[in-house]
Each structure stands twice: as C-alpha cells, then as structure tokens.
Structure 1
Amino acid sequence: MAVNIPGLVAVIVFYVLILATGIWAARKSKQEERKCTGDKSEVAMVGGRNIGTLVGIFTTTATWVGGGFINGIAEIVYLPHRGISWTQAPITYCLNLILGGLFFAKPMRTNQYVTMMDPFQIKFGNIMSSLLFIPAVLGDIFWSAAILAALGSTMAVILDIETYLSIILSACIVIIYTLLGGLYSVAYTDVMQMVFIIISLWLCVPFTITNPAVADIKYTMVNELYQSPWIGKIEVNQIARWIDDLLYMTLGGIPWQVYFQRVLAASSVSQAQKTSYIAGVLCFILSFPSIIIGAVAVSTDWNQTDYGLPTPNERQESSMVLPIVLQYLCPVYISMLGIGAISAAVMSSADSSLLAASSMFARNIYKTIIRKTATEKEVIWVMRTTIVLFGAAAAALALLTNSIYGLWFLSSELVYAILFPQFVCVLFIPNTNTYGSAAGYLVGLTLRLLAGESFLQIPPLIQYPGISFENGTHQQLFPFKTFTMVLSLLSIVMVSYLASFVFNRKLLPVRFDVFKVTDKTQELPATPEEQVILNDCNNHKLEPDRI
C-alpha cells in the first residue's frame, strides 16, 4: 500500500490553517492582556471573561464533540451486539451540558472563579484540593494521550504513514497554538474545527449511503442476515449496567475543567447558561453523521470494496470504522475532507485538555501553594511550561503505552466517584467540611479500585451481584459506579456533620480540630492562600462582549 498522497496533502493543508488561526488568535490574546487591568493570567485561562455568544457556543460544543465523540459513536453502532441501543454519548453529552447550564454554570460564573478547583481550595483547603487535583489532571492528560494514539492509528491505516509521525506532528501543533494564545487560540480554532467537522461529515453521508456495496440501512437496522442488527439490544440482565453508564457519562462529565473554562470565560451568567443549553442540543444533532456511518459499516459488503475481507471487526479495526468507511466508500476528494474532520476533532479535544490541566496547576498548585508571591507574568510562564510538559507526556503515553484508553476510563470513573459528589457538596451543601471531603475521597477511591478494571487487568476484589467472568476478563453488571458515587456523597455529608457535632459539642478538644470546623474557628479570617483566590474572584467585574 502506497502513501495516500491526496489525503496527506489535505491533512497538511488543514494543519497549516489551524496553526495560522491559532497564531492569529494569540495576537488577540496579547491585545487583551495589554488592556487588562487585573490578573493577566485570566486572559490566557478564561479569555478575560470576554468570550462572546457565537464563539462560546462553538467552543462549548467542542467540549465533547471531538475525536472520541465522532469515532466512538460510529464504532459502538458498528460493533456486534452493541448498536445504537448502547450508543449513549448523544443523549448523555446533551444532558450533561444542559444540566451543567441549569445547575452548575450559575454558581461558578457568579462567584467568578477562574478554575474548577477554586471552590474546593476555598472551602476544603490546600491539602484536599491538591488531592482532588490528581484525578482531574490525570483525566485530562490520559484523554489527550488516548485521542492522539487513536489519531496515529487512523493515519497509519488511512494514509499509510508511521504512527509516531502523526502523533508527534499533531501534538506539536496543538502545543504551539495553545502555548501562544491560551483560551483565545483554543476558542477560535474550535470554531474553525467545528465548522469543518459539520460540513465534511455531512458531505460524506450521502456518498456512503448510496455506494453500491451498501445495503439499505433501514433494512439492516433489524435484519439479522448481517453481522447483527445495528439497532442493537439491551438484555434484561444488562439494564442496570446501561443505566449506570448513562448516569456515569451524564453526571461524571460535569466536573471537568475543559467544560468550566468555557463557562467561566462567558461574559455573563446568562450567556454561560445559554451557550451550555445550545451546545447540548448541537451535541445531539452532530452525532447523526457518526450514527449513520456506523450503520453504513454494518450494511456494507466489504468484499465489494478495495478494503476486502475480513471485515473491520474481524481485523480488530472497529475503532477505526469511521475513517475506513470514508476512505473506501467515498470519492477521494470527499474522503480527504473526512480525514480532515477526524484531525480537527482530535485537535479540538487535545488543546482543551492541555489548557485545562495547565491552568489548574499554574493557579491552584503553583500560585496558591508552591509560590504564593508569584507575579502574573510568572504564573503565565508556568502555565506555558506545563502545557509543553503535559503535551509531551500525552504524546509519550500515546507512543509507548497500549493501555491508554484503560487509564482514561479508570481516571474518568474516579472523577465520577470522587469529584462529582465533592463538587455537589462544595456548591450546594454549605455545611460540609474538610473531614467529610477526606472521607468521601477515601471511600470513592477505595471502592472504585476494589471493583477492578479488566482493561488494565486489575482483578475485582469486590464482586458485586451479577458479576460475570469470560476469557480472563470480568464484567460488573451491578451499577457499581453510581453506587460508589452515592456512598462517596453520603460519606462527605455524614462525616462533615459528625465532625462539626463532635467539635462544637466539645466531645473532643479543639486542639484536635486540625481542619478548623468549630464555630470559633469558622469566624477566623481566611488563610492567606484562601484570600488570594477570594481576591482574584472578587476583583474582576463583568465586561461587555468583545468577541
């Protein structure tokens, strides 16, 4: 197989356009920094809170409509015994953004936080916020690594180039424009990438459906003559797991900095909410091309194409079914657009994750804990340095590790089990405290790890009802993710109230109250670290839209 020259040219041209857009946006970021009278680091982290409605809608939609979204949906629809019944992303990400706008955007934007970790740091202190930072930052790094690895594999199959070339090139471009322009570069490149994804994928759909090798997808939706009907089926014993996954993806997708950096960048509370609602609807709509392409893959007689037999599933290339369909069922000039769409989707996810992780480290770890006297210029340079370091780490993981998706799944489930209940408590249950936070963290972490992870070959020390073992792997059919999250939430609330009761009733001497939860200590002024964050959040007024 020779190198796909037209496809390679298309990808290079697209990468140049993205890089040029990111550099142009970086110039706008510099202009905003010169105008800024407050913390200049906020321009890089939250765009100076001047992201307008249209850009906000595109960049918030790009929170989830990325490489994993468009490739993953097509893969699940295509897989035997899965199908659209198990394709939960269109519903969960839609609900995720709508619920985020309804309940979480207002308190976060009203208090003018800069990162998702700010409320944790103010309420629970530096030790707990540092522990909570770990699953958040690991989730972002592993996600960047996973989608870079997926892109490398895709380019290796479609363009017949070495995997490492694609990973390194993509990582370098993402790092460069994110490094130069912060959120401005991320937001403006998101606009271009989203437009490209929408146009190119919808253009591909008619060509895939009308290809002579493809049967009527309405017929194959339920007909069992093909590998399996792409409508899929949920067995009775799998209903609990299906609901568990639905809740995990819906609620577990809320406490992520990649979402809140968009919310906190909005010029007003109402705009933050509106962009979340509209982005949620767009997520649902933009899933249709991938669903159709997955159905087309089920309906294709691959022996009539240049791909031939065995099928993608038999070759264990199901994860690349979307680019395979685009290459073998579309004309060359259309498939080139599709390949560009895949690259766009991956880059729109990777840049957000790198900026999210570096923003939290620079502000909540370096500025607030490591070096409290750091200047704004120093904070910006620390953020830029960590963008490079985190980007390099993601690229290295993508190149060297075969279990990236397993690491990401585990870290994202830890976000659901640990961060989501903590986030609910810090925003909506005012009497929770650091003792409860520590207890909830320990319960969530312990129960999730003890449930095991087949992908990483971690055995289940806790075997919930309905567990099944097959071919050396296990599957927990009990809704253990949500069970763990609920127990973590209850632990936070109960231990918080118990600690307050014990110290306020003087059942234990106040000297043992290391986290200061008694009435007397609650009246003390904020610590210097907490005051830094409080001042940052209170010193910035809302400004009119400038984008």
Structure 2
Amino acid sequence: MIVNVGALVTVAVCYVVILVLGILAGRKAKHSEKNADTEEVMLAGRNIGKFVGVFTMTATWVGGGYINGTAEMVYAARRGDGSGLIWVQAPVGFAISLVLGGLFYAKKMRSAGYVTMIDPLSQKFGDRMGALLVLPALCGEIFWSASILSALGSSLAVIIGLETWLAIIVSAAIALCYTVLGGLYSVAYTDIIQLIFMFIGLVLAIPFALTHDAVSPITETSMYDMGGWKGYLDGVGWGLYIDFALLLIFGGIPWQVYFQRVLSSKTVDGARVLSFLGAIGCIVMAIPPVLIGAAGYSADWNQTDYASSLTDTGDIEDYRLVLPLVLQYLTPPAVAAIGLGAVSAAVMSSADSSMLSSSCLFARNIWKLVFRPNASEREIVWVMRGGQLVFCIIATVMAIYINSIYGLFVLCADFVYVVLFPQLTLVLYVPWTNTYGSLSGYIISLLLRLLGGESYLSFPAVMKWPWYDEEYNTQYFPFRTSCMLIGLLVILMVSYLFKRLFESGTLDAKYDIFNAVVNERKQKHEYSTNTSYELSGTVNQALEK
C-alpha cells in the first residue's frame, strides 16, 4: 500500500496542534494530585462559558459518524430505494433534541447541582438502581467511540494509504492523552480547534467537488427519478421514518455527553443558551457533508481513477467511504489532505467526549455510590482516569476487530431511548415515581426491544409488529417508540400501585425493601450522607441568585 506523504503530514500536524492545545487547556484545571477535585475534572469546575460551551456542544454531536453518515445517506439514493437527503434525519433530529433539552431539562439539572445525568435517578431510585441504569448509557458511549474510530480508520486508509489499525490506535491514543491530563477543560478547548478544522476542511472541498468534470450539476441530478439525491418516502416507510425521527429527538436527550456540558455551564441560563446555539451549529455543520454526498451521487465514477474499484453497476462498493472518496478523487491532493484533517478532527471531537463521559458515569455512579461510598476525591479521579484507559482500549479493539460496530451502536442508542428517556423524564417531572416502577419499566421496555430484533446485527425478531418485513428482518412499525411508551406507562402504573399499597397500609412498611415509598425519607438521608448533592444544589442555587 502506497502512503500519501502529503496527506500524512497534514494529519500529523493536525494531531500535534490538537494534542498541544489539549495539554495547555488542561492546565486551567485547578486541582492537583494532592488536592484532587472531581468537579474540576468532570465539569471543569462548572466554569464553561457560552463561547466555549457552544463549540464543545456542537463538536460533541458533529463527529465522524455524523459527517460521514450524512454524506453516505445522500449518496445512497443511487440504490433507488428511496434513500437520500430526506433520510438524513440526524441533523434535524439532534437539533430539535438540543432545543427540547434546553427548554425542559437543562434548568432542572443544572440548578440542582448534579454531577452526572444518572445522579437524579440514583437519588430517587437508589444507588443500585442508578448503577443498573448506567449500563445502557455506558455501552452506548463505548460503542459510539468504537464506531467513529472505525470510520476514521477507513477514511485514513482511503486517502493516506495508512493501515487501518495503526490509524485507529494513534487517533485513540492522542485523544486519550489530553483527556486524561485535563479532563473536560482539555476536551472543551480542543473542540474549538477541531470544529474549526472540520468546517474549513469540508467547505474548502465543496467547490472543487461540485465543479469536477466527472460531476453533473446537483440541481439537475436532484430532479432524477425517485427524487434524485433528495430521495423519497412513501408507503410503510413512514412508520420507520417516524420511529427513527422520534428516537433521534427524544433519544438524543439522555446522553451523558450532553448533560456534561449542561452541568459544566457557569449559569443555568448559560446551559439553556448553549443548548439552543448548539442546535443551530448541528444544522449548519450538516450542510457541507450533504453537498459532498450530492457530488458523490452526481459523479460518473468511471471517469475517475477509482473506476477499477467500482461495482458492476458503476457504484462505490462501500457507501460509508463516500466522503473520503470524494475528497480523494474529486478534489486536488492538497484539498483532500486538508479535508482528511477535518474528518480526523471530527472523530476526535466525539471520541474524547465519549471517553470522558463514560469514565465519569463509572467513577461516580458505580464506583463511588455502589462500591466505595467513602472514597476520597483523589481516588475517584484516579478511578476515572483508569476508566478512560480501559474504555479507550475496549473501543479501539472493537473498532479494529468487529465488523458490526454500527449495529451495536444502533442497538445501544435504542436502549438509551427506550430505557433511559422515560426514566429521566419521569424522575424530573413526576415526583411520586419510585424504584418499583423504575425496575419494572426497565425490564419490560428492555425485553420488548430485544424481542423486536435488529437487522444491523442479523438478530431475528421474535416479536413481529405490524408491517414486519420477513425478507429484510425490518420492523416498519414504530416499535421503538412503542416500547418506550409501554415502559413509561409501566413505570407510572407500578409506581402508583406500590405507593397506594404502602401508604394505605395494605402492605406493611417492612416490605418496602427498596426504601422507595414509606421508607423513602430514610433512603434520602443515607444518600445525602454519602454524597454532596444537597450541599452542591444549595450552593449552586445561591450562586445563581
């Protein structure tokens, strides 16, 4: 394999700049080894302003999977199955998700002084139930990192000629290095340069790609049969479309990477504003990959140097590589190299955030609250750093060796939507929900989702909802949303049932084994003794006033 030296140098420079900036940003943290502070590491001392906050919020969502996936879906219209721009749901879905998060979740979470997204769940339902709810969130973060690292390895292999495994390992190691050293400070400040690299690199490539001799005007190709690169939607596809739209909108809320930025904001109003501005950023950053995908769709690839690698129908074999292939074959070498730097920056902006978020969840909501309630601040910081290393290794190994990472990520994203969204929403807005309802809803919604199967993993459906397609193992009915709503109703009904049974005396207080109804006060007392929530919440509310 021939290595493209120019592209390699460009990416190396990009990585060095990001690494140096990450290390310098980490020096803003006020903690030391002798005086460790988990809030400094996890939340940058709740000192993230609006400018930095908007960049880090946008960069977290706009990662390698976001831009590569957007270009891929636009190009996929060549299949003639309706795929195309209309199915690029992530930008709009995530934008709406951020707006809803700012309107209904950011204020409640930030004013209470929580440290992680799971904190209100642990406080209400107990430490062990909180730890159980960490699992889908933790898996989602790890599989997300693995999927985007895998995408990066493929991109570097196309343009540079570098071995995929080497590219993945180097990228993961650099992201891990500055994340361990500086925590959220490093992640947030490197997001600024990463987002700038990403935007400039992709925008620079657009005019060259659209005006290449092999590319027909995208205004003409958008008028082709079945909507051209815009795609189309009809029939039972509407059920699947609505299901994924709701998954992106509401399932995009209960992610630690989002709430980590909300909780790190200086003020409650700042947390809400960065959510709204981050939504605008998601939409704006989707425009370049959409145009690049349209250029790929409109290209006659037989006129390029990639002709020998095309399928019999003249298509690119792996649609996931559309964006790097457009950069490589439809733009000048220098522009392609800069564009690759943009792709690399996009991946690292999401990978570092995911590593930090997953380690915070483990250190705070599992290690601290379940196994080591009396752990010192220094111990928690070191557990978090160890978690970053372990989770980075797991994600890297998965990215190198597992071919179905995207399928695993999709399944875990479903779990976040189906399991966590109703739990988080109800704990914030329905005060009488309890552990009995939470556990019942968790089991029922998770079971229903698993029974629905997953086509990406060739996992057969046991429970076949209306409009099920046997040939493609696809549920066209919005069953994910149905599983979520059923779980939500189960939480409400079971919580209310046990509340009435215990408060009426039908069940004796000694049977309140979770300390969730009549013994709830005892649970809250024990919880506040082992954590700093009440103090943190009081201090933060005072500061806000």
Is TM-score (shorter-chain normalized) higher than 0.5?
yes
1:58 paired with 2:55, answer yes
Helix, strand or coil at the partner of 1:236:
coil
Q: CA deviation at 1:254?
A: 0.4
Offset at residue 385 of structure 1 (A): 0.7
Aligned residue number for residue 49 of structure 1: 46
Deviation at 1:440, TM superposition (A): 0.7
Amino acid at match of 1:324: L
1:241 is the counterpart of 2:232: no
**Does the residue aligned with 2:455 lie in a helix, a strand or coil?**
coil
8 A Cα contact 1:58 1:279, kept in partner: yes
Cα distance, 1:241 vs. partner?
Answer: 1.1
In structure 1, the residue corresponding to 2:524 is in which secondary structure? coil
Letter in 2 for 1:58: F
Matched residue, 1:485: 484
CA contact (8 A) 1:49 1:543 kept: no
Is 1:171 matched with 2:172? yes
Matched residue, 1:12: 12
Contact 1:2 1:160 in 2 (8 A): yes
Matches of 1:522 and 1:28, distance apart in 2: 41
Question: Aligned partners of 1:216, 1:205: CA distance in 2, in Å?
Answer: 13
Matches within 5 A, 1:221-260: 221-224=222-225, 229-260=228-259
Paired residues for 1:280-359 under 5 Å? 280-309=279-308, 311=310, 314-359=315-360
Contact (CA 8 Å) 1:503, 1:517: kept in 2 or not? no
Distance in 2 (CA, whole Å) between partners of 1:64 and 1:353 is 10
Deviation of the 1:509 alpha carbon: 2.2
1:274 alignment partner in structure 2: 273
Aligned to 1:534: 533
RMSD in angstroms over aligned alpha carbons?
1.9
SS at match of 1:20: helix
1:74-93 matches, cutoff 5 A: 74-79=71-76, 80=79, 81=81, 82-93=83-94
Q: Tell me, which stretches of 5 or more residues in structure 1 are unaligned?
A: none
Partner-residue secondary structure (3-state), 1:230: helix
Secondary structure in structure 2 of the residue aligned to 1:469: coil
How far is 1:495 from its partner? 0.5
Give TM-score scaled by structure 1 length: 0.95
Q: For the residues of structure 1 that align with 2:116 and 2:540, how far apart are their CA atoms?
A: 17
- Deviations along 1:400-421, one digit per CA (max 9) or x if unpaired, are 2111111111111011000000
DSSP 3-state at the match of 1:200: helix
More helix by share: 2
Cα shift at 1:36: 12
Give the structure 2 partner of residue 522 of structure 1. Answer: 520
User: What secondary structure sits across from 2:229 in the alignment?
Assistant: coil
AA aligned to 2:160 is L
Deviation at 1:88? 0.6
User: Residue 530 of structure 1: CA displacement?
Assistant: 4.1
Answer yes or no: is the 8 Å Cα contact 2:293–2:322 preserved in 1. Answer: yes
Once residues 67 and 151 of structure 1 are traced to their aligned partners in structure 2, the CA distance between those partners, rounded to angstroms, is 7
Residues 464-475 of structure 1 correspond to what in structure 2 (within 5 A)? 464-470=465-471, 473-475=472-474
Give the match's secondary structure for 1:264: helix
1: CA distance between counterparts of 2:517 and 2:423? Answer: 21
3-state SS, counterpart of residue 100 of structure 1: helix
Aligned-pair CA distance for 1:506: 1.7
For residues 374-389 of structure 1, the aligned pairs below 5 Å read 374-389=375-390
Instruction: Give the Cα separation in 1 of the matches to 2:542 and 2:482.
Output: 43
SS of 2:403's equivalent in the other structure is coil
Amino acid paired to 2:73: I
Shift of 1:35: 13
Letter in 1 for 2:198: I
Q: 1:33 offset after TM fit, Å?
A: 2.2
* Matched ranges for 1:390-539 at <5 A: 390-470=391-471, 473-519=472-518, 521-524=519-522, 526-531=524-529, 532-535=531-534, 537-538=536-537
Query: Which whole-Å CA distance do the structure 2 matches of 1:526 and 1:544 have between them?
Result: 24
Q: What per-residue deviation string (whole Å, max 9, x for no partner) do you get for residues 444-482 of structure 1?
A: 100000001122222101000100122xx4110000010
Do the aligned residues in 2 keep the contact of 1:41 with 1:379 (CA within 8 Å)?
A: yes
* Distance in 1, Cα, partners of 2:539 & 2:338: 43
Deviation at 1:234, TM superposition (A): 0.5
Q: In the alignment, residue 90 of structure 2 is paired with which amino acid?
A: A
Q: Cα distance, 1:315 vs. partner?
A: 4.4
- Amino acid in structure 2 at the alignment position of 1:148: L
Contact 2:111 2:541 in 1 (8 A): no
2:243 and 2:156 mapped to 1: Cα distance? 34
Q: What are the superposed Cα offsets for residues 96-135 of structure 1, whole Å, 9 maximum, x if unpaired?
A: 1111101110000000101001101100001211110100
Q: How big is each residue's C-alpha offset from its partner over 1:218-275, in whole Å with a ceiling of 9 and x where there is no partner?
A: 1001213xx9711101122111111111000110010000000000000000000001
How many angstroms does 1:516 deviate by? Answer: 2.3
Contact 2:516 2:523 in 1 (8 A): no
- Go from structure 1 to structure 2 and tell me whether the alpha carbon gap of 1:413 and 1:533 turns closer, same or farther (over 3 Å shift): farther
* CA-to-aligned-CA distance 1:172-214 (integer Å, 9 cap, x gap): 1011000000000000000010011111111111111111111
CA distance in structure 1 between the aligned counterparts of 2:192 and 2:71, rounded to whole angstroms? 23
Could you tell me how far apart the structure 2 residues matched to 1:134 and 1:342 are?
30
Instruction: State the shift of 1:63 in Å.
Output: 2.1
Distance 2:139 2:236 in 1: 33
1:161-240 equivalences under 5 Å are 161-224=162-225, 229-240=228-239
Q: Distance in 2 between matches of 1:148 and 1:525?
A: 42
Q: Which amino acid is 1:9 matched to?
A: V
Instruction: Judge conservation of contact 2:215–2:295 (CA < 8 Å) in 1.
Output: yes
Give the alignment of 1:151-162 within 5 angstroms.
Answer: 151-162=152-163
**Count of paired positions:** 537
Aligned equivalents of 1:208 and 1:185: distance in 2? 34
* Corresponding residue for residue 265 of structure 1: 264
Unaligned runs of 5+ in 2: none
SS of the residue corresponding to residue 470 of structure 2 reads strand
Equivalent in the alignment of 2:150: 149
Change (3 A) 1:44 1:540: farther
Distance, in Å, in 1 between the alignment partners of 2:352 and 2:227 is 37
Secondary structure at the aligned position of 1:102 is classed as: helix
TM-score normalised according to structure 2 size: 0.95
Structure 1 residues 537 and 544 mapped into 2: Cα distance closer, same or farther (>3 Å)? Answer: closer
Please list the CA deviations of residues 351-389 of structure 1 after superposition, one character each: whole Å capped at 9, or x if unmatched.
000100001111111122211121111111111111001
Contact 2:126 2:523 in 1 (8 A): no
Distance 1:525 1:452 in 2: 38
Structure 1 match to 2:115:
114
